[in-house]
Amino acid sequence: MTGALRRFRALPLRSRLALLVATAVAVAVAAVAAACWFVTKAQLNQQMDNSLRSSKVDEKYLTSLYNYCGGATLLPPPPFTSGYTVQLVDADGTVCIAPKKAALPVSHADIAVAEGQQDYALHSARTESGTKMRVYTSQVHIGPLVRPGLAVSVAVPMDQVTDPLTQLAFVLLIVSGIGVIGAGAAGLWVARTGLRPVDELTAAVEHVARTEDLSLRIPVEGEDEIARLSRSFNSMTASLATSRDRQAQLIADAGHELRTPLTSLRTNVELLARSDETGRPIPPDDRRALMKSVTAQMTELASLIGDLQELARPDAAQPGPLQVVGLHDIASAALERARLRGPELTITADLEPWYVRAEPAALERAVVNVLDNAVKFSPPHGTVAVALRDGELTVVDQGPGIPAEDLPYVFERFWRSPTARQLPGSGLGLSIVARTVQQAGGEVALHPSPGGGTKASIRLPGAPQPPPENP
């Protein structure tokens, strides 16, 4: 059974479908044919029994047969031409039948009828020659009286029923075979026609796997399952193409961004190495400037690599475990780091308690990135105002601001405005901010500040305040 099932599963899909259709039709046809045969058999047997019950044997024939068997006359009864076999049955089982006729076996039911214990008996019997007969035994009526101790059996050959049934079975077998063969052919045609879209989809998938051509699209017709599958495949290939394009763009942008600090770092290192090789010392002030530049470039390179790792980590598309945290606490911690990076700036804070559901580390990194931008673009001795009211965190700086035509692009990866390209940074900070805030169910936006500079706003939905910790 397991081997047959394994061989069946090894067949092509259209062959399996055609075989299943042919099998289903064969079972249905066999069931209908068997039902037809049995119903016909029952009807024919019923008709034969009714014919035997309604048969009437002539009294003269019975009298002549009775006298012949009793020795009252030497003349046999005239031939009984109705097609029935007639015999008399005595109560002791003695049989009286016309000459040259095969006697029928006597059953207990026949004797019971002869003894008057029952009115009639209906059964099947087989003669000595092997002919199967249907026998109807009843009491003998000779004259107006019933003759006690004697019964008459009337029999007819069963081939009147078995021959038509044999012919019917042969006809049903031929018709069923033709039906099964036709069903198999129709099933194969239906399978070929119905699976043509699947063949097209398979060819498309094989083409994509062979050539990596994600621009291939399958024509979609209708609203059935195949159309949905084709539509899903087209959507999948479009998403893969977009993802591959974004990956290629990310690699190109990352290479471009990495090239600048690496080139500057290489130049400075080569100057230091050449000074050591030639024995010509670099003036102390210039050497300190070179070392400061190397340190800044290494810091920028490390920051860029960290941002790239943040964007490329496998779980970047899915947020980490969310917790109820205080946005005001996270903003306070980020403010401490911002004051260290811009000690000459005045950073004011007005933070109201506000609890949100977010990933704490990712949310703190997002707030730090926003504050870093404000510190980076603020003029010396400028002011950065930070406020948290009604779930909205705002950061306002006094920098040059962002042109209106650049605002739609500020959250794209590696995008940097022309005025900011000479400043350190990778162009990934705001894209990380946008992704983190969106995963927390919030919104982030940049607007020109009324007093000059830029206003960054982060709005996050509130969460129930956690219970106080036990001391």
Residue 387's pLDDT is what? 92
Q: Please say whether the dihedral angle defined by the alpha carbons of residues 311, 313, 317 and 322, taken in this order, is positive or negative.
A: negative
Please, what are the domains in the chain?
Answer: 11-194 (3.30.450), 225-312 (1.10.287.130), 318-459 (3.30.565.10)
Residue 39's pLDDT is what? 92
Cα torsion at 271, 277, 283, 286 (round to 10°)? 20
Q: What's the CA gap between 323 and 200, in Å, rounded?
A: 48
Residue of 158, 147, 42 lying closest to 104 (CA atoms)? 158
Q: How confident is the model at residue 426 (pLDDT cuts 50, 70, 90)?
A: low
Which is higher by pLDDT, 69 or 309? 69
Q: What single-letter amino acid sits at 53?
A: R
Exposed / middle / buried, residue 265 (Cβ in 10 Å: 0-12, 13-18, 19+): middle
Q: What's the CA gap between 123 and 352, in Å, rounded?
A: 105
Helix and strand numbers, DSSP H then E, in the chain: 11, 12
pTM attached to this predicted model: 0.45
Residue 145's pLDDT is what? 47
Which is higher by pLDDT, 465 or 269? 269
pLDDT in tens, 78-99: 666 567 888 888 888 888 888 7
Judge whether residue 119 has pLDDT over 80. Answer: yes
Judge whether residue 382 has pLDDT over 80. Answer: yes
pLDDT in tens, 23-33: 888 888 888 88
Mean pLDDT of 343-352: 86
Q: What's the CA gap between 437 and 391, in Å, rounded?
A: 13
pLDDT in tens, 224-250: 777 787 788 788 888 888 877 777 766
3-state secondary structure 197-226: HHHHHHHHHHHHHHHCCCCCCCCCCCCCHH
Which is higher by pLDDT, 323 or 410? 323
For all residues of the chain together, what is the average pLDDT?
78
Q: How confident is the model at residue 260 (pLDDT cuts 50, 70, 90)?
A: low
Give, in order, the Cα–Cα distances in Å from 105 to each of 96, 118, 151.
Answer: 12, 19, 14
Judge whether residue 412 has pLDDT over 80. Answer: no
Q: How confident is the model at residue 223 (pLDDT cuts 50, 70, 90)?
A: confident
Judge whether residue 257 has pLDDT over 70. Answer: no
Name the strand (E) or helix (H) holding 334: helix 327-341
